[in-house]
Every structure is written in C-alpha cells, then in structure tokens.
Amino acid sequence: MLISYLIDKNINVTGVDIRESAEVLPADKFRFYKCCITEKDNLRSIFNEVQPTNVVHFACSFNKVRNQKREYEIDICGSDNVKDVCNNTPSVRQLIFSSSAAAYGAKKNNSLWMKESEPLIPKKYRYGINKKLVEHNYTNIPVREDLRIVVLRLCLVLGPTFDKPRSVVSLLIKLPALPKFIREKKVQFIHSEDMVSLLELILRDKEISGIYNLAPDSYTIVKDIVPDKRFVGVPLFIFKGSLWICWHLRILNLQPASVSNTLYPTILDSSKIISRYDYKFKYSSKEAFEDTIRHNMIPAGAWI
C-alpha cells in the first residue's frame, strides 16, 4: 500500500523482503532486493548501494513461523540488524518501526483511550511481547545524533487491498455465527488511505521522533459492523480449546495466548499524532470495515 502510494507521489522506493510481490511496479521508481532482515551482511551491502534517506521497517514473523526461537531471530535480532545498519549508513536520517497495539496487551482494566505513556503488558502473547522488546531496543539503545527513530503503534489496517484470510477480520466477515461474548466488544480499524497519508507526513517530517499511536479517533462495536450475524452462547473454555486446536492445525493464524484480545478491547488514543499534523481522518473505524467489505464484494454481515 505504501510503496504504490509513494511511487504515485513521484518518490523512489527500494523494497527489501524474503519474496517479491506479484505486483508490477515501474522500474524507474522501484528496486527490489531479496533479503531477510536476519542477513545483516546482505542488508548492509544493500544499504551501501542504495544509500536510503528514510527506512520503514514493517518486517516481522506475525504468527506465521510457529517456532519461538526463529520468531525471536526474525523479530528481535532482525530488527536490531535493521537499526544497526541504519545507524551505520550516514545517508539514513529517519527509521520508522511498525509496532502494534498488541504491545499494550488486552486487559480487562485497559483505559478506553490508551495513550503512548500506558505501560506495555502483552502477557504471553508472543507477537505483542516481541513488539515490546523491539520498542525497548529502538528507544533505549543510543544511535547517532542525526538519526531519528519513530515507533508507530498501529491498530488493524483495513481497506480495499485487505487480504488476510485467516485473520480476526476475516472471521468476523465469514463465520455464520460468532460468540455472544464479543457482541459488545469495541474494535478499532484504520483505513489504508489514512495510514499511508499519515506515513507520508511522517516521512516528510525532519524533526519527528519518539512513540506515536497510529489509529483513527474512533472505534466501533462488533454488533454494529456485522448487524445480521448470529451471536451464540459459547462457553469460554470451549472457545479457548477450539482456538488451540485451530492454531496447531494451522487453520487459524491466531495464537491461543491472544484469546484476551478477543475478550478485551485495546482502543488507541491518536491525539498525539493528530495534533502534530492537525490531521482529519477520511474514514471512521466503522467506515474502514465497510469499505473493506465493499471492495471484497462481500455484503456486510453476510453468512459465508
């Protein structure tokens, strides 16, 4: 999403990933290098050749590896590699790290609007734990004076290009019935258009550094975005057991430790980033969900 947006703005982009996207991008504006962030020497040679000015770090294992040691190598050690290479490449003036609302941890006593100063308590959810550890390294280990590090805690990103068939959002859309205990749950989604617009502002900002929530100034409720859905009484222990089975059979991409995310909301306060740019969101959380449905040709609340 971001690459296409920046190319449309006549900005040259270099992509680094473990596989190349099938999307065809203009060769004069986009270069691709196949590399994992765990390959520090390879990463360093790419940076030496490209001499980037701004680096956006989106790479992570995101529940796909199913191996705690390998997840640590990618998420923590790999992120340290990105930071070290940026720090030792003088052309790089800004490093943006994509963290997550999951770092806060979903807890019963979460405040309604969570500010950046809230403690990070992801409990046993490894995705949240790893984001917390990377944040610690990015904000506590010194770098050269002219390198500014920005940590963005993102809520779920939706929009026309959303394509995560085993995610929470896909379950909301596709399951014929949902557990009654999530009927009143508050959820927060940022539309991809708002995300890339904010990222462009951050990329052009030569002074910004520190931690920012990246989420809309709104939330919605599950029953309001899938109004035709059936909600059934499912005992929590059955739900937890089913999630454990689906995780180990690779039916779902949701760790069993993430069950608290299903029960308790994590609603981010975005006033810090809004006030910096006087930003007006194009889409509310509800509108972001509806636009995702619309572009995927699935009627909101449909039983599939």
What does the pLDDT read at residue 89? Answer: 98
Sequence spans of domains, the chain = 2-159+189-219+266-288
Ranking 141-145, 188-192, 232-236 by mean pLDDT, the lowest is 232-236
Q: What is the mean pLDDT of residues 55-71?
A: 85
Portion of the chain with pLDDT greater than 90, in percent: 67
Q: What is the mean pLDDT of residues 251-261?
A: 72
Among the CATH numbers 3.40.470.10, 3.40.50.720, 3.40.50.970, 3.30.450.20, which is that of 2-159+189-219+266-288?
Answer: 3.40.50.720
Render the chain in DSSP notation, one character per residue: -HHHHHHHTT--EEEEESS--SS---TTTEEEEE--TT-HHHHHHHHHHH--SEEEE----TT-S--HHHHHIIIIIHHHHHHHHHHT-TT--EEEEEEEGGGT---TT--SSB-TTS----TT-HHHHHHHHHHHHHHHS---TT-EEEEEEE-EEESTT---TTSHHHHHHH-SEEEGGGTT-EE-EEEHHHHHHHHHHHHH-SS--EEEEE--S--EEHHHHSTT-EEE---HHHHHHHHHHHHHTTS----GGGHHHHHS---B--HHHHHHHT---SS-HHHHHHHHHHHTT--TT---
Q: Is the pLDDT of residue 63 over 90?
A: no
- Categorize the per-residue pLDDT at 301 as very low, low, confident or very high, splitting at 50, 70 and 90: very low
pTM, 2 dp: 0.91
What does the pLDDT read at residue 51? Answer: 97
